[in-house]
């Protein structure tokens, strides 16, 4: 006999890294044997979650998400990028200027506020586009900026999507040299700061003509694009640019080998990976 569905569910919920998933398929000769095995796994998992929580509160004092965010800010500012801060509330018109309208798949994922005049930004790109449109005429090139902040998308998918997540978007307007080479070296800088192995995958994108995805073990952690792009004119951009957007929770999830992104996102059920109500 196998673990009951409830037992399997409990193991999956408490398991931090997915190492116990294989055990949910184990066969037992008797009910007693099964219950004993479940108790043992359950105790181990409770202990591991408690250990992680204590480590966070007593020693780290800051979640891995934040620690990595600060590390990234440090590294990017040292590379000459300036951190901008823009509104979370985004005008509908600015979303449409990104080519995201009623027909676009992302439209259905948008949280609207103020009777649809605004939304909670599903991405940072429109605000950064807006700023670059201003900076292009007023600053010397290259203009190097980034933003880290909350983004929102209605998501129904499981372990790699959050409805509120943290986006990191880095853009460079008027890069020196070949934009593609520049983009790749930028990605390399960031991923080596985080000590994460990655590979690139080129993909057709609905918002940008073509995107280069940054992948870690089969998980998309970021999407990059190169301009000139057909959207540029609407934002008063005429120079080449390179840009890449990362999901911070995805990066941390990959870095810590966690089996569910919810462990690292904004939550009242988890803190810094540890499950609270067990």
Minimum distance from CB of 50 to ligand ATP (Å)? 27
By a kind-dependent CB cut-off of 5 to 8 A, residue 153 interacts, out of ligand ATP, Mg ion, none, with ligand ATP
Closer to Mg ion by Cβ: residue 88 or 219: 219
- Binds ligand ATP (CB under 6 A): choice among 14, 100, 162, 216: 162
Window 201-240: residues binding Mg ion (CB under 5 A): 223
Q: How far apart are CA 113 and CA 117, in angstroms?
A: 7
By a kind-dependent CB cut-off of 5 to 8 A, residue 155 interacts, out of ligand ATP, Mg ion, none, with ligand ATP
Q: How far apart are CA 131 and CA 123, in angstroms?
A: 14
By a kind-dependent CB cut-off of 5 to 8 A, residue 167 interacts, out of ligand ATP, Mg ion, none, with ligand ATP
Q: What are phi and psi of 166, to 5 degrees?
A: -110, 120
The answer to whether 274 touches 56, Cβ cutoff 8 Å, is: yes
Q: Which residue is nearest to Mg ion, using beta carbons?
A: 223
Q: At 27, which helix (H) or strand (E)?
A: none
- Binds ligand ATP (CB under 6 A): choice among 167, 187, 191, 274: 167
Q: How far apart are CA 90 and CA 111, in angstroms?
A: 10
Which residues lie closer than 8 Å to 22 by C-beta, 6 or more apart? none
Minimum distance from CB of 175 to ligand ATP (Å)? 20
Rule CB under 6 A: say whether 229 interacts with ligand ATP. no
User: What's the token pair of residue 22?
Assistant: 């294989």
Q: Would strands 112-113 and 118-120 be described as parallel, antiparallel, or unpaired?
A: antiparallel
By a kind-dependent CB cut-off of 5 to 8 A, residue 260 interacts, out of ligand ATP, Mg ion, none, with none
- Binds ligand ATP (CB under 6 A): choice among 10, 52, 144, 161: 161
What angle separates helix 31-54 from helix 5-14, to the nearest 10 degrees? 20
Q: Name the 3-class secondary structure at 215.
A: strand
Q: If binding means CB under 5 A, how many residues of this protein chain bind Mg ion?
A: 1
Closer to ligand ATP by Cβ: residue 44 or 220: 220
Q: What is the phi-psi region of residue 37: left when phi exceeds 0, alpha when psi lies from -120 to 50, beta otherwise?
A: alpha
Measured CA distances, 183 to 54, 213, 250 (Å): 40, 12, 20
Window 124-153: residues binding ligand ATP (CB under 6 A): 153
Minimum distance from CB of 13 to ligand ATP (Å)? 19
Binding positions for ligand ATP, rule: CB under 6 A: 123, 153, 155, 161-162, 165, 167, 220-223, 245-247, 249-250, 261
């Amino acid at each position: 006999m196998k673990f009951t569905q409830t037992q399997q569910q409990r193991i999956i919920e408490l398991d931090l890294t997915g190492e116990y998933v294989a055990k949910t398929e184990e066969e037992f000769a008797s009910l007693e044997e099964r219950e004993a095995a479940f108790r043992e796994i359950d105790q181990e998992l409770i202990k591991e979650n408690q250990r992680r929580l204590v480590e966070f509160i007593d020693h780290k004092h800051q979640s891995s998400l934040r620690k990595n965010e600060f590390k990234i800010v440090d590294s990017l500012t040292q590379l000459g990028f300036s951190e901008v801060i823009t509104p979370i509330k985004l005008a509908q018109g600015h979303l449409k200027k990104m080519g995201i309208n009623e027909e676009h798949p992302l439209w259905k994922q948008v949280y609207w506020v103020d009777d649809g005049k605004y939304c909670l930004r599903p991405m940072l790109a429109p605000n950064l586009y807006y700023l670059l449109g201003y900076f292009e005429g007023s600053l010397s090139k290259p203009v190097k900026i980034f933003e880290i902040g909350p983004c929102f998308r209605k998501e129904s998918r499981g372990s790699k999507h959050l409805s509120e997540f943290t986006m990191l978007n880095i853009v460079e307007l008027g890069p020196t040299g070949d934009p593609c080479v520049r983009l790749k070296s930028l990605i390399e800088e960031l991923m080596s700061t985080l000590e994460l192995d990655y590979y690139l995958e080129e993909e057709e994108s609905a918002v940008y003509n073509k995107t280069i995805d940054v992948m870690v073990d089969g998980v998309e952690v970021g999407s990059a694009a190169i301009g000139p792009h057909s959207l540029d004119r609407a934002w008063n951009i005429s120079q080449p640019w390179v840009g890449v957007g990362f999901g911070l929770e995805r990066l941390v999830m990959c870095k810590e080998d966690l089996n569910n992104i919810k462990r690292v996102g904004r939550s009242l059920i988890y803190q810094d990976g540890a499950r609270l109500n067990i």
